[in-house]
Homo-oligomer: A and B are copies of this chain.
Amino acid sequence: MKKKINIGLLGLGTVGTGVVKLLHANGQSIAQKVGAAIEVKKIMVRNANKPRSIAVDHLITTDFDDILNDPEIDIVVELMGGETPAKDYMLRALQAGKQVVTANKDVMAKYGRELFAAAEAKQVDLMFEASVGGGIPIIRPLKQCLAGNKITEIMGIINGTTNYMLTKMTNEFLDFDDVLKEAQAKGYAEADPTADVGGFDAARKIAILASIAFGARVSLDDVSVEGITRISKDDIEYASELGYIIKLLAIAKEDERGIDVRVHPAFVPGNHPLASVNDVFNAIYIKGDAIGEAMFYGRGAGEMPTASAVVGDIIDVSRNIQHGLTSRILCTCFDQKNFCPIEKTESPYYIRMLVEDKPGVFAAIASAFAEQQVSLHSVIQRRKINKCAEVVLITYRVTDAHLRSAISMIKELSVVSKIQSIVRVEAEEI
């Protein structure tokens, strides 16, 4: 048994700083759990001279080789973010026989297979709990606690920025642009918000979760992605009137048609556990054949919540080191599976459109839907905009292909001036 386990930290931004603080604050209880002190021995940063909030100047290096070639460093903790050079450093660390802990969703979603192969070859650990859901335990529960289940569905609110924005739009009846500005001012959204509001951050995370849940590699390219930029406060108001909340959902389903992984805004019934996940909180809702439904809720980002997940991994790897056994659980993508083409995926849909306000219009629309086997569950026609009437529909469950055909037909109708919104309804059997 070692008396000390040494960490080489890559990156000292928000999360890196949190990890140093947490290892220090709870060092004593962590040492009891591991049977050894855990010490940050070196920290690699880009700029050695940047002022820092913690006193770690003596640990700073700008040269990755200082960490890679230090035989006393047991675990490399990668918290730089981004693909380059993080992936290269992680790969080289694994190849050098070092354990790796990371919070990097970009790298894990894209290079998971390659990194796991390197870990396997050297029989070392590669842990990444912090890459999805920040502090929320989700990777380990999926890989271990729920390992006896056939997971059929994951629905996650796994991007805090967009959930903050949608919550704000819902509670204060604000428009997307205004809320984005405020989120940027508060530091919840970046200057270039594309990764968040475009759904790409959530897409990387759901690719990681789907890979674990279905035991087959799902990469970013397999995820169909739509962001929240087209959601207006009108949609949110209609949702509320119909008993729904609009959330950006990351969805992964598996059935006899294959694996279906997508990120898009969705109508969620107001009484569903995901509907009350507000602000920057994240939640991952899971269906499995044995467990039924379960949900994991918490802070999906931030200095200390993310540090919580990273330090949990560090403790787990350290316990493995102490017992002389790393690489206990590595890649669990044993199968190759087919994907369900998006056209075959099914759900109810919400549709909002502007039509001429005269007799017979609704009959024309309804018969176009009927022709494509789309049944209507509920209809609201209330508001007038200029000389048009706004019609809002919720369909029964229908394939994406049938819905698209119906929409094409309806667009051709002379009485329809505009299809304003199409949003899927999830988590409801209608």
Binding site for B on A (CB under 8 A): 18, 22-23, 25-26, 29-30, 32-33, 129, 135-137, 140-141, 144-150, 215, 273, 276, 288-299, 302, 304-305, 307-312, 314-316, 319-320, 323-325, 328-329, 332, 334-335
Which residue in chain B gives the minimum CB-CB distance to A140? B145
The answer for the CA separation of A294 and B302 in the assembled complex, in Å, is 14
CB < 8 Å neighbour of A215 from B29, B294, B310 = B29
Which residue in chain B gives the minimum CB-CB distance to A273? B297
Known A140-B141, A299-B291, A334-B32; contact A149-B308, beta-carbon cutoff 8 A: yes
**Residue from A141, A215, A311 with most neighbouring chain B CB atoms (10 Å):** A141
For A290, list chain B residues within 8 Å (CB).
18, 22, 26, 135, 304-305, 307-308, 311
Which residue in chain B gives the minimum CB-CB distance to A32? B334
Which residue in chain B gives the minimum CB-CB distance to A144? B316
For A149, list chain B residues within 8 Å (CB).
26, 308
For A22, list chain B residues within 8 Å (CB).
148, 290
For A150, list chain B residues within 8 Å (CB).
25-26, 29
For A136, list chain B residues within 8 Å (CB).
294
A146 and B319 within 8 A (CB): no
CB < 8 Å neighbour of A308 from B137, B276, B291 = B291
A137 and B135 within 8 A (CB): no
For A23, list chain B residues within 8 Å (CB).
148
Nearest Cβ in chain B — how far from A54, in angstroms? 15
The answer for the CA separation of A384 and B215 in the assembled complex, in Å, is 64
**Residue from A18, A30, A33, A129 with most neighbouring chain B CB atoms (10 Å):** A33
27 contacts between A and B (CB under 8 A): A18-B290, A25-B289, A26-B149, A26-B290, A29-B334, A32-B215, A135-B290, A140-B140, A140-B141, A140-B145, A141-B141, A145-B309, A146-B312, A147-B316, A148-B307, A148-B312, A273-B276, A273-B297, A288-B308, A290-B304, A290-B305, A291-B305, A292-B302, A293-B299, A296-B296, A319-B328, A323-B328
A292 and B298 within 8 A (CB): yes
**Residue from A25, A141, A294 with most neighbouring chain B CB atoms (10 Å):** A294
Nearest Cβ in chain B — how far from A332, in angstroms? 6
A145 and B26 within 8 A (CB): no
The answer for the CA separation of A199 and B148 in the assembled complex, in Å, is 31
B147 and A292 within 8 A (CB): no
Nearest Cβ in chain B — how far from A102, in angstroms? 15
CB < 8 Å neighbour of A147 from B305, B312, B325 = B312
For A291, list chain B residues within 8 Å (CB).
135, 298-299, 304-305, 308
The answer for the CA separation of A411 and B137 in the assembled complex, in Å, is 49
Known A135-B292, A273-B276, A296-B296; contact A30-B148, beta-carbon cutoff 8 A: yes
For A304, list chain B residues within 8 Å (CB).
289-292
For A316, list chain B residues within 8 Å (CB).
144, 147
The answer for the CA separation of A328 and B136 in the assembled complex, in Å, is 23
For A289, list chain B residues within 8 Å (CB).
25-26, 304
Which residue in chain B gives the minimum CB-CB distance to A139? B145
The answer for the CA separation of A129 and B335 in the assembled complex, in Å, is 28
For A135, list chain B residues within 8 Å (CB).
290-292, 294
Nearest Cβ in chain B — how far from A91, in angstroms? 24
The answer for the CA separation of A170 and B25 in the assembled complex, in Å, is 43
The answer for the CA separation of A305 and B215 in the assembled complex, in Å, is 21
B148 and A137 within 8 A (CB): no
CB < 8 Å neighbour of A329 from B18, B298, B319, B325 = B319
B148 and A315 within 8 A (CB): yes
Known A290-B305, A290-B308, A325-B324; contact A33-B298, beta-carbon cutoff 8 A: no
The answer for the CA separation of A34 and B128 in the assembled complex, in Å, is 20
Which residue in chain B gives the minimum CB-CB distance to A271? B276
B293 and A148 within 8 A (CB): no
Known A293-B299, A319-B328; contact A311-B148, beta-carbon cutoff 8 A: yes
Nearest Cβ in chain B — how far from A343, in angstroms? 28
For A295, list chain B residues within 8 Å (CB).
295-298
